[in-house]
């Protein structure tokens, strides 16, 4: 609560997983200030880029079935072309996309695609307009990096190589390979087997009374962008305070739009801590989990990132951030202790909270 106050966090829910089971879960602050709804581990919110771990899981289910190879050109599975125009002869592969080495950049159209409610344009249509020369969202300078796909070694820090659009493309590749809409595939092959009945990519499939309101804290006299029905609006706070966003989305939803709770998300984390299965429900083979967390992919893992903390502890983690939300999911390698923290406030300072949890338990 001290850290929440110091970092202006409206609400926070968290849990710890040990020996493959949830051993503690808690909620603090507010899910909705106006209605005085408390934050609990059952409250739903969007979790930002932690969603990529679901997209990674869906794709790796198809990989372990032999439906594609990690170093194949993804164009073999698309009905439009994806090429960096600076390197037209270089293939863009699944492994590159999963490790942010594809040279696909989040261009201007990506940030402009955020809007209240569920997406009004399909994933396929948006991607085709983004990658096809002459398309509505295409720009060779804005949509691609100057380095080639699969570039080895350290990449330039700016503009960041991390590609949200690339994970949107991975979601569409799941659709093409499985011949199933991405959201339906996840519901059938991930959510349902794991009992994640209150998890969805779309608002229309959720009980919105359980959904947290996302907030941005605006210091007195300062201005911040706020997502409202009329679009992203610059809002100034006279006295300082928390300003709510609408419940928004974007067309490349497989990169960051899972809506779930701490207790629901912990079921996926338990899968990775239990070699691909929980409660006699297997969604990944043990060898597939080992592949994800190996160092065989440009020196790192697939989707997840490995970090060494002060004191020498190693964790595998994925974070998430978007307007009004901040999120973190990780596990410590030494004892396979897992942690999830979800906040309905952006720039929420989850790092200090994680460090305190790691030291105290």
Give residue-wise pLDDT tens across range 31-89. Answer: 999 999 999 999 999 999 999 999 999 999 999 999 999 999 999 999 999 999 999 99
What is the Cα–Cα distance from 174 to 168, expressed in whole angstroms?
Answer: 10
Question: Among candidates 45, 141, 52, which has minimal Cα distance to 98?
Answer: 52
pLDDT of 100: 98
What is the Cα–Cα distance from 266 to 331, expressed in whole angstroms?
Answer: 11
> 148: burial class by Cβ within 10 Å (0-12, 13-18, 19+)?
middle
In which region does residue 311 sit, left (phi positive, over 0), alpha (psi from -120 to 50) or beta (all else)? left
What is the Cα–Cα distance from 30 to 27, expressed in whole angstroms?
Answer: 9
Instruction: Say if residues 340 and 328 touch (Cβ distance below 8 Å).
Output: yes
pLDDT of 360: 59
SS3 311: coil
In which region does residue 275 sit, left (phi positive, over 0), alpha (psi from -120 to 50) or beta (all else)? left
Distance of CA 30 to the CA centre of its chain: 23
pLDDT of 359: 67
Instruction: Say if residues 103 and 144 touch (Cβ distance below 8 Å).
Output: yes
What is the Cα–Cα distance from 215 to 4, expressed in whole angstroms?
Answer: 14
What is the Cα–Cα distance from 34 to 21, expressed in whole angstroms?
Answer: 34
pLDDT of 354: 78
In sequence order, the 6+-apart residues with CB closer than 8 A to the CB of 35 are none
Beta strands in 174-324 (DSSP E): 215-218, 223-228, 231-236, 241-244, 248-249, 259-260, 277-278, 281-282, 305-308, 314-322
For the chain, state the CA radius of gyration.
Answer: 20
What is the Cα–Cα distance from 187 to 185, expressed in whole angstroms?
Answer: 6
In sequence order, the 6+-apart residues with CB closer than 8 A to the CB of 347 are 7, 217, 321, 326
* Residue spans of the chain under pLDDT 70: 359-361
Instruction: Say if residues 30 and 11 touch (Cβ distance below 8 Å).
Output: yes
| Phi, psi (deg, nearest 5) at residue 123 | -55, -50
pLDDT of 155: 94
What is the Cα–Cα distance from 287 to 308, expressed in whole angstroms?
Answer: 24
Instruction: Say if residues 218 and 239 touch (Cβ distance below 8 Å).
Output: no
pLDDT of 2: 85
Helical (H) or strand (E) element with 271: helix 262-273
């Amino acid at each position: 609560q001290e850290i929440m106050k110091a970092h202006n966090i409206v609400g926070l829910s968290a849990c710890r997983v040990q020996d493959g089971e949830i051993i503690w879960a808690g909620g603090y602050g507010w899910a909705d200030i106006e209605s005085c709804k408390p934050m609990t581990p059952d409250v739903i919110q969007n979790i930002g880029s932690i969603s990529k771990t679901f997209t990674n899981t869906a794709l790796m289910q198809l990989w372990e079935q032999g439906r594609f190879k990690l170093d194949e050109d993804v164009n073999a599975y698309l009905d439009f072309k994806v090429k960096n125009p600076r390197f037209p002869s270089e293939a863009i592969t699944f492994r590159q996309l999963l490790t942010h080495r594809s040279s696909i950049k989040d261009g201007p159209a990506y940030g402009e695609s955020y809007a209240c409610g569920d997406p009004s344009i399909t994933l396929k249509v948006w991607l085709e307009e983004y990658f096809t020369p002459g398309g509505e969202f295409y720009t060779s300078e804005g949509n691609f990096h100057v380095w080639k796909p699969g570039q080895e070694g350290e990449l330039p820090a700016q503009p960041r190589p991390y590609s949200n659009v690339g994970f949107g493309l991975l979601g569409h590749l799941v659709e093409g390979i499985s011949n199933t809409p991405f959201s339906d595939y996840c519901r059938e092959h991930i959510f349902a087997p794991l009992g994640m009945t209150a998890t969805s990519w779309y608002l229309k499939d959720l009980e919105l009374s359980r959904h947290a309101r996302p907030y941005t804290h605006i210091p007195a006299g300062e201005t911040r962008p706020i997502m409202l029905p009329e679009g992203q609006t610059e809002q100034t706070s006279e006295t300082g305070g928390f300003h709510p966003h609408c419940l928004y989305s974007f067309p490349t939803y497989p990169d960051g739009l899972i809506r779930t709770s701490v207790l629901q998300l912990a079921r996926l984390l338990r899968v990775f801590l239990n070699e691909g299965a929980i409660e006699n429900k297997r969604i990944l083979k043990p060898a597939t989990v080992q592949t994800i967390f190996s160092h065989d992919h440009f020196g790192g893992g697939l989707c997840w990132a490995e970090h060494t903390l002060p004191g020498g502890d190693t964790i595998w983690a994925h974070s998430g951030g978007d307007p009004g939300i901040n999120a973190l999911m990780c596990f410590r390698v030494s004892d396979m202790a897992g942690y999830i923290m979800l906040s309905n406030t952006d720039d929420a300072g989850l790092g200090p909270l994680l460090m305190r949890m790691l030291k105290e338990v």
